């Protein structure tokens, strides 16, 4: 949380709020990032699209500035043409990504409200962050939203946990942010309290820095956590260290899973010796960890990154299975959780209030695809894709409207996406800056930033309601998304339906009234609108009635049934088994990924590439700012390598290298880190996509965007999530002359 200081219309300083115990440094990007020469000054149309509706030069063409009315007219005409000639499912209103924390000026909500009024569109389901988790967990234990908001707090961990095993670590860099906004950064404080209480932390990750305060580091190969977990399960079973009573009373299907672990169903015992060959962790170390977990009150955590990989459903299913075998689910400090270190609110104990959002209405088409299958949809209209027990037929997309988010950051195999993105006839974008999203559009509307409008920050996982006051006039000719879509609605004769005869301030007051009603239903009183705007903030009382995660289910599994088909933890799922997916069977399983160290593809590309979130920006936001640029090397994102891996390739620290595989190549600067497992390299996401169109190698990306390298396949037929962390590469010194 920050206070922005402005002098004579210019941002001079961004000051952390005094109520935040550990404010993020990301706010520094606002100082020069908002008022930057990359701002879009007025509506613009791509030249060759305007002249002939040509598509092949999309991403490399110049733009012509036009008046607002002309741009709005053209956009409305295109939307109407496509809807009439091809149907509304031929419009893709994607708009996925982190946008303003405000409740009203939320780009996706504004876009979807407008597009629903004109007949709807094709949408995206789930998120790039947690798609596999969102689909697998309701079958196994609970909905994703319930997990996020109800799983154990750091206070509960400090009070009850003896051993905290973190698969994927707890990277504090990610806790700077939370969707919907965060006002108090307390994850580091929570870890410190737990350590002081005697909790022992084990970091199971190829990156030691993924949990800097851990007592022990187990450098598991990327993408092989399930093999390690299965070997722990094997040890618990054969040494009789599991809670058979809990498995009998609170779970279903352990007997089937047990046959698999012992190798009776496939003739492969999932022993520590078997797992050691896959995950490169000594078998004795695996056995010791299993015994430690059985001997102590153990909490098992899995990072979000684990499920962003081929077969990403399996590590989350296996995490729940292991916790069930230990029998400590629902006990103080025991059980499992996900994403401790993924966002700043996870592990907090603040009261959860589901605040009302700006109404999008109903999508008349009812059409949606898995979020990470966008390129497949654009390239292969008419094809079908399996998803969670059903089949979805891809529509023929003729128009994309994007407002909020950056597909050139989130998606995988960006060279493939570039080919796909040139298929639609028209791409319309609302964007404040000349980002890759804007440059790959045909019609571009300049949008305001959160500093150029008024809004309410009210998150279901945060204790504060904050007035996000306007501190700058709209820059150049920028308009809010609300104003842009109101202008388009007017051209369809739908202005009153869109704005309900309210201006932006009237909408905020209306939303506050709805917030008051929601709070009152939970016994919380909010001030009147005028009082709130005068003070600018209001803190929600803490929840003194919070019960430990799954404690009621533990005490009464029949009376407090889970929302799974059986009402219990499903170690074996009859539902998933009935789908007959070879890539997601009926229980947690080790499935060989498309590529991995020691496995397929490693002879040609012997390094595993991790693409974590950056520490100096949120995804790709404000990558143009000084705060983001200062950590780059010669303007390129920094690739972290183990010094010995660099030495055998003749690479010096600070050198520019070419990172490549069969999907593409990018340039990066090199930094050394002996805290990486050997043969693992790390290149953060978020560098603005910049292909070298003048090169003989058109796939070469110049800024260090790892998603020109990542694999664009679904996690499985169940969730079809992104598989970004299944990626092998090679690295070599870059010679611009070759």
- Strand pairing report for 163-167 and 122-125: unpaired
User: Residue 64 pLDDT > 70, yes or no?
Assistant: yes
Distance CA 106, CA 108 (A): 6
- Distance (Å) of CA 472 to CA 17, 448, 452, 490, 618: 19, 10, 5, 27, 22
Question: So what's the pLDDT on residue 17?
Answer: 82
Residue 147 clears pLDDT 70, i.e. is over it: yes
pLDDT in tens, 286-296: 999 999 999 99
DSSP 253-296: -HHHHHHHHTTTTTS----HHHHHHHH---HHHHHHHHHHHHHS
Count of residues making up the chain: 738
| Average pLDDT value for residue range 50-77 | 97
How much is the mean pLDDT over the chain? 96
Q: In the structure encoding, which two tokens stand for residue 669, read together?
A: 């600067």
Task: Name the nearest CA neighbour of 701 among 305, 409, 420, 406.
Answer: 409
Q: What is the DSSP letter of 211?
A: G
Residues carrying an active site annotation: 96, 98
Distance CA 73, CA 88 (A): 19
* Inter-CA distances, 615 with 172, 176, 622, Å: 9, 8, 12
Count Cα atoms within 13 angstroms, Cβ side, for 624.
Answer: 15
Lowest mean pLDDT among 172-176, 263-267, 288-292, 539-543: 539-543
Task: Give the three-class secondary structure for 64.
Answer: strand
The reply to whether 132-351+553-579 and 607-733 are identical in fold is no
Q: The CATH number of 132-351+553-579 is which of 3.50.50.60, 3.40.50.300, 3.40.50.150, 3.40.228.10?
A: 3.40.228.10
Structural domain spans, the chain: 2-20+35-126+371-458+470-501, 132-351+553-579, 607-733
- Coil, helix or strand at residue 536: coil
The structural architecture, per CATH, of the domain 2-20+35-126+371-458+470-501 is 3-Layer(aba) Sandwich (3.40)
What gap in Å lies between CA 479 and CA 68, rounded to an integer? 10
Residues 6+ apart with CB under 8 A from 454: 467, 468, 469, 470, 504, 505, 508
Please, what sign has the CA dihedral across residues 258, 260, 263, 267?
A: positive
Give the residue from 423, 524, 531, 402 showing the smallest Cα distance to 97. Answer: 402
Tokens of 157: 């961990």
CB 729, CB 591: distance < 8 Å = no
**DSSP string of 31-61?**
HHHSS-TTB--S-EEEHHHHHH---TTTTS-
Of the chain, the percentage scoring pLDDT greater than 70 comes to: 99
What value does the mean pLDDT take over residues 518-544?
94
Quick one: pLDDT at residue 696?
Answer: 54
Encoded tokens for 159: 């009070």
Going from the C-alpha of 175 to that of each of 101, 172, 344, 457, 616, the distances in angstroms are 16, 5, 4, 18, 12
Say yes or no to pLDDT of 101 above 90.
no
- Identify the CA nearest to 421 among candidates 404, 408, 435: 408
Check pLDDT > 70 for residue 695: no
Secondary structure of residue 149 in the 3-state scheme:
helix
What is residue 698's predicted lDDT score, i.e. its pLDDT? 58
At residue 545, the pLDDT reads 79
Residue 276: how many other CB atoms lie within 10 Å:
18
Judged by phi (left if over 0) then psi (alpha if -120 to 50, else beta), residue 405 lies in left
Confidence of residue 39 (pLDDT cuts 50, 70, 90): very high
- Domain 607-733 CATH (choose: 3.90.730.10, 2.60.40.10, 3.30.1490.20, 2.40.40.20): 2.40.40.20
For 722, phi and psi rounded to 5 degrees? -75, 150
Mean pLDDT confidence for 16-40: 92
């Amino acid at each position: 949380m920050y206070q922005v200081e402005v002098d004579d219309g210019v941002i001079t300083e961004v000051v952390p709020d005094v109520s935040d115990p550990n404010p993020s440094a990301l706010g520094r990007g606002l100082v020069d990032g908002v008022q930057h020469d990359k701002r879009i000054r007025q509506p613009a149309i791509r030249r060759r699209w305007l002249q002939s509706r040509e598509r092949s030069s999309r991403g490399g063409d110049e733009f012509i500035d036009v008046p607002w009315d002309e741009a709005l007219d053209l956009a409305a005409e295109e939307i109407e043409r496509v809807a009439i000639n091809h149907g509304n499912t031929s419009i893709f209103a994607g708009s996925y990504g982190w946008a303003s924390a405000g409740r009203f000026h939320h780009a996706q909500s504004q876009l979807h409200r407008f597009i629903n009024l004109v007949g709807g569109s094709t949408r995206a389901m789930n998120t790039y962050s947690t798609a596999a988790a969102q689909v697998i967990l309701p079958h196994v234990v609970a909905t994703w939203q319930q997990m996020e908001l109800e799983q154990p707090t750091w206070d509960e961990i400090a009070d009850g946990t003896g051993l905290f095993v973190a698969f994927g670590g707890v990277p504090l860099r990610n806790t700077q942010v939370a969707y919907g906004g965060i006002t108090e950064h307390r994850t580091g404080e929570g870890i410190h309290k737990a350590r002081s209480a005697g909790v022992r932390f084990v970091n199971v990750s190829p990156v030691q820095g993924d949990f800097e305060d851990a007592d022990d580091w187990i450098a598991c190969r990327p993408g092989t956590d399930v093999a390690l977990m299965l070997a722990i399960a094997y040890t618990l079973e054969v040494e009789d260290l599991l809670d058979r009573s809990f498995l009998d009373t609170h779970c279903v299907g352990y007997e089937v899973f047990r046959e698999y672990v012992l190798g009776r169903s496939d003739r492969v015992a999932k022993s520590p010796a078997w797992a050691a060959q896959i995950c490169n962790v000594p078998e004795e170390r695996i056995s010791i960890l299993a015994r430690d977990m059985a001997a102590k009150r153990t909490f098992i955590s899995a990072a979000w990154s684990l499920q962003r990989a081929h077969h990403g459903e399996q590590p989350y299913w296996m995490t729940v299975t292991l916790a069930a075998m230990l029998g400590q689910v629902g006990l103080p400090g025991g059980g499992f959780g996900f994403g401790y270190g993924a966002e700043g609110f996870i592990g907090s104990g603040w009261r959860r209030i589901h605040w009302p959002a700006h109404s999008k209405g109903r999508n008349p088409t009812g059409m949606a695809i898995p979020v990470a299958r966008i390129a497949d949809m654009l390239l292969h209209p008419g094809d079908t894709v399996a998803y969670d027990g059903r089949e979805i037929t891809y529509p023929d997309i003729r128009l994309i409207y994007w407002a909020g988010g950056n597909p050139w950051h989130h998606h995988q195999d960006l060279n493939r996406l570039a080919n796909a993105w040139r298929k639609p006839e028209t791409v319309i974008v609302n964007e404040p800056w000349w980002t890759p999203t804007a440059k790959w559009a045909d019609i571009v509307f300049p949008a305001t930033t959160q500093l150029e409008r008024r809004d309410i920050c009210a998150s279901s996982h945060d204790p504060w309601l904050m007035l996000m006051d306007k501190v700058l006039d709209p820059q150049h000719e920028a308009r809010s998304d609300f104003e842009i879509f109101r202008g388009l609605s007017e051209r369809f004769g739908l202005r009153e339906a869109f704005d309900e005869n309210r201006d932006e301030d009237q909408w905020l007051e209306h939303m506050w009234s709805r917030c008051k009603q929601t709070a009152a239903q939970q016994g919380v009183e909010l001030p009147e609108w005028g009082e709130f705007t005068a003070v600018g903030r209001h803190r929600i009382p803490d929840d003194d009635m919070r019960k430990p995660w799954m404690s009621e289910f533990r005490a009464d599994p029949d009376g407090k049934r889970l929302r799974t088909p059986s009402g219990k933890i499903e170690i074996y799922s009859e539902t998933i088994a009935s789908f007959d997916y070879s890539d997601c069977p009926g229980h947690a399983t080790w499935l060989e990924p498309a590529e991995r160290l020691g496995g397929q593809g490693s002879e040609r590309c012997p390094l595993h590439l991790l693409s974590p979130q950056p520490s100096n920006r949120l995804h790709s936001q404000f990558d143009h700012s000084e705060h983001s640029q200062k950590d780059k090397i010669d303007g390129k994102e920094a690739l972290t390598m183990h010094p010995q891996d660099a030495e055998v390739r003749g690479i010096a620290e600070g050198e520019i290298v070419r990172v490549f595989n069969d999907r593409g190549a990018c340039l990066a600067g090199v930094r050394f880190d002996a805290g990486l497992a050997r043969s693992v390299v790390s290149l953060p996401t978020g560098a603005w996509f910049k292909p070298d169109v003048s090169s003989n190698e058109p796939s070469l990306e110049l800024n260090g965007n790892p998603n020109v390298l990542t694999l664009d396949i679904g996690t499985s037929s169940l969730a079809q999530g992104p598989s970004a962390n299944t990626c092998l590469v090679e690295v070599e010194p870059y010679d611009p002359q070759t």
